[in-house]
Amino acid sequence: MDLEEIYATIQPNIYAFFFVKTRNRELSEDLTQEVFYQAIKGFKNFHGDSSIKTWIFAIAKNVLKKHFRLKKYHLQLTEKLQGEGELATSLEEEIIHKEEHHQLLHLLEKLEPLPKEVATLRIYGELSFREIGALLDKSENYARITFHRAKLKMQKEMKNNER
C-alpha cells in the first residue's frame, strides 16, 4: 500500500476520532493533517510491530494530548496574565503583586526563545520538567537545566536593576 492509499483509507477514521473528541470541524481537519505530517516525518521509525493504522492512531492520540496540553497551558497563562482567581487583601499588596508580575514578564521577554518557553511553561503553565521536556521534544533534564539557567539569568538581571 502506498502513502496515498494509506491516507485515503485511514484519514476518515482519524478525522472522525478528532471530531468526536473536539466537536470542531476546522480543528479536526488541522489535527488530522498534523497526524499525517507526523506520520510522514516519522515513517522511518515504523518497524511494522503493529498495523499501520494502529501506528497512525497512536500518533493521533499523541497529537490530541499535545493539543489539550497546549490549550490548558494557554488558558492558564491567560488567566495568570489577567490576574483571575487571585485575591489581594489590600490595595498595596495588589500594586506590589502587579509590579512583580510586570517585572517578571519584562525579564522573560529578555530571554532567548527556548529558555523563555521553558520558563513560561514552568512558571505560568505550572508544568513539571517531564511535561515540559515532552512538550518541547527534549529530555526532562534538558528542561530542568534550561529553567535553572533562565532563572539565574533573570535573578542576575534583577540584581543589576536594583543597583
Quickly list DSSP for 64-95.
Answer: HHHHHHHHHHHHHHHHHHHTTT---SSHHHHH
Which pTM value belongs to this model?
0.48
The dihedral sign for the CA sequence 142, 144, 150, 152 = negative
Q: Around Cβ 153, how many Cβ atoms within 10 Å?
A: 16
Task: Summarize the confidence of residues 96-100 as an average pLDDT.
Answer: 69
Whether 86 shows a pLDDT value over 60: the answer reads no
Pick the more confident residue, 24 or 75.
Answer: 24
Judged against a pLDDT cut of 50, whether residue 84 lies above it is answered with: no
Instruction: Please give the average per-residue pLDDT across 22-40, as a whole number.
Output: 92
For the chain, the DSSP string reads --HHHHHHHHHHHHHHHHHHHH--HHHHHHHHHHHHHHHHHTGGG--SSS-HHHHHHHHHHHHHHHHHHHHHHHHHHHHHHHTTT---SSHHHHHHHHHHHHHHHHHHHTS-HHHHHHHHHHHTS---HHHHHHHTTS-HHHHHHHHHHHHHHHHHHHHHHH-
Domains of the chain: 1-71 (1.10.1740.10), 86-163 (1.10.10.10)
What average pLDDT does the segment 75-99 reach? 62
pLDDT of residue 47: 80
| Averaged confidence pLDDT in the chain | 82
Q: Distance (Å, rounded) from C-alpha 16 to C-alpha 12? A: 6
Q: Kindly state the average pLDDT of the residues 123-137.
A: 81
